[in-house]
Homo-oligomer: A and B are copies of this chain.
Amino acid sequence: MARVGTGYEAARPRLLALVGERLSTSTYDLKSHARDESFHPPAPPDAVAFPRTNEEVAAILKVCRECSLPVIPFGAGTSVEGHVQAVRGGISVDLSRMDQVLDLQIDDMDCRVQAGIRRLALNDHLEKHGLWLPVDPGADASVGGMAATGASGTTTVRYGTIRENILGLTCVLADGRIVRTGGRARKSSAGYDLTKLMLGSEGTLGVITEVQLRLQPLPEAISAATCTFQDIKGSVETVIEILQSGIPVARCELLDEESMLAVNDYARLNCPAAPTLFLEFHGSPASVAEQAERSGEIASEYGGGGFQWTRERENREKLWHARHHAYYAIKALRPGSYGWVSDVCVPISRLAECVTATLADIKRAGLIAPILGHVGDGNFHAIFLVDPDDEAEMERARTATNRMIDRSLAMGGTCTGEHGIGIGKHKALLDQHGEGVAVMRALKAAMDPTGILNPGKVLQ
């Protein structure tokens, strides 16, 4: 590959001819495209391009390929494993100006959007039609970014990850070809599933420019509940039995004692400082009442106390506001710190053991790292509050996260339930998939032979 500097100098006049002032090298743009929300060190691109059409993206990629210049797709910058860092320079292709709803079909409950539209803006647009995209990673991510990282979140236990809610894509490949994968049909057996191959590939196999989404009807009724437990085990056993009973719980979140302390402070709640389940039920009024009642009965069998539920929108939103802002609440425990969010996912039968052992590690290492999790999926995060300049502390956090990963793999889990590999988990990917990583490399070589697409991410 040509050296990056050389590549950019050669590409610059050609890119300017393509997008004019929508090619930026302003300090602000370079800085804001140098990093995501993770603790990983920033790495600015040579320039940021703001294309408006598929064809512009294709033309940019052709130039970059000819100039051996890396291309880093950029959505909202809310990823957490360094996905958008321009670790080898190149062009950050910011899709935020491609943010239109291209097509909405109410009867089919689907829509086609440009990749740059944000999740909340899309749901605002959909609400008046009685529809929504239920996948909720917390952050106001772009839909294209959600697709590229295989996002999931609080509602996955009921509605699946973004992977289950995408029917097709438009992608620009490394050589500038524009390919439409999938389609509008609810299912298709027409050849290899290129859509699923692109989802979660973190911009390393193509640039996603359009997304065909499957939508859900807004629930007729919603109820929310909280329930506190003496220990993590009781809360996880409750969730196992809720799932085994076939109760279609829509959200199912666990916050540990320390997270609850943080949330109480931040959201001015007065919840007990104990492991707490946040539950949400969707359905008809009768159905959500029944779901809540049965879940409450199950919780009490496992020592759950203070089961509170509400169907009032205001109270419900107050509760979930607290959960949604847990990350900021937790960061407020140590002002000025970075949040190193570690993410593993295990079979749910091992979750209590995994969380408990992780908490013991954290305590032993003298770290602050509240834990919260999408417990219905067996997925949890430890949010290590660290000072990146304190190398000893960083090393202790690194050890603790590595132990989390090793423990998860030993339990049949994954090194990342939803955050991805980025630049942070190359070794973990190898530990987890071994020979599979060689297959991934072969696919990468087939799709991007010169390696211009988001180099250094997923695969080294």
Residues of A within 8 A of B (CB): 105-110, 130, 149-150, 152, 156, 160-161, 163-164, 173, 177-181, 183-194, 196-197, 199-201, 205, 216-220, 240, 243-246, 248, 282-284, 286-287, 290, 294, 345-349, 377-379, 408, 412-421, 425, 428-429, 432-440, 442-447, 458-459
CB contacts (< 8 Å) of A440 on chain B: these are 191-192, 194
With CB as the reference atom, state the residue of chain B lying closest to A289. B286
With CB as the reference atom, state the residue of chain B lying closest to A241. B107
A349 near B108: Cβ-Cβ < 8 Å: yes
CB contact under 8 A between A436 and B180, given known A286-B286, A347-B108: yes
Tell me the complex Cα distance, A29–B447, Å.
40
Interchain nearest-CB distance for A111 vs B (Å)? 12
Tell me the complex Cα distance, A365–B322, Å.
64
B439 near A173: Cβ-Cβ < 8 Å: yes
Question: Of the candidates B179, B187, B417, which one forms a contact with A417 in the assembled complex, judged by CB atoms under 8 Å apart?
Answer: B187
Question: Of the candidates B189, B243, B428, B458, which one forms a contact with A109 in the assembled complex, judged by CB atoms under 8 Å apart?
Answer: B243
A sample of 5 inter-chain contacts (CB < 8 A) reads A185-B378, A189-B418, A191-B429, A192-B201, A192-B444
Interchain nearest-CB distance for A218 vs B (Å)? 8
Tell me the complex Cα distance, A444–B443, Å.
9
A199 near B191: Cβ-Cβ < 8 Å: no
With CB as the reference atom, state the residue of chain B lying closest to A435. B179
Question: Of the candidates B194, B294, B445, which one forms a contact with A439 in the assembled complex, judged by CB atoms under 8 Å apart?
Answer: B194
CB contacts (< 8 Å) of A183 on chain B: these are 412-414, 432
B200 near A192: Cβ-Cβ < 8 Å: yes
CB contact under 8 A between A193 and B187, given known A105-B347, A220-B246, A446-B446: no
- Nearest 9 interchain pairs by C-beta: A196-B196, A188-B414, A446-B446, A107-B349, A184-B412, A185-B345, A108-B347, A185-B414, A189-B420
Interchain nearest-CB distance for A30 vs B (Å)? 28
Tell me the complex Cα distance, A200–B150, Å.
20
CB contacts (< 8 Å) of A347 on chain B: these are 105, 107-108, 110, 184-186
B442 near A446: Cβ-Cβ < 8 Å: yes
With CB as the reference atom, state the residue of chain B lying closest to A432. B190
Interchain nearest-CB distance for A55 vs B (Å)? 14
Tell me the complex Cα distance, A186–B185, Å.
25
A193 near B196: Cβ-Cβ < 8 Å: yes
CB contacts (< 8 Å) of A433 on chain B: these are 180-181, 190-191
B349 near A190: Cβ-Cβ < 8 Å: no
CB contacts (< 8 Å) of A219 on chain B: these are 246
Question: Of the candidates B105, B110, B244, which one forms a contact with A130 in the assembled complex, judged by CB atoms under 8 Å apart?
Answer: B244
Which residue among A243, A246, A432, A434 has the maximum number of chain B CB atoms within 10 Å of its CB?
Answer: A246
Which residue among A190, A246, A378 has the maximum number of chain B CB atoms within 10 Å of its CB?
Answer: A190
CB contact under 8 A between A412 and B185, given known A109-B244, A217-B246, A348-B108: yes
B348 near A192: Cβ-Cβ < 8 Å: no
B248 near A248: Cβ-Cβ < 8 Å: yes
Tell me the complex Cα distance, A334–B242, Å.
50
A458 near B377: Cβ-Cβ < 8 Å: no
B377 near A189: Cβ-Cβ < 8 Å: no
Interchain nearest-CB distance for A249 vs B (Å)? 12
B191 near A458: Cβ-Cβ < 8 Å: yes
Known contacts A161-B187, A190-B433, then 5 further A-B pairs from the complex at CB < 8 Å, ordered by chain A residue: A179-B439, A189-B417, A191-B200, A194-B440, A442-B447
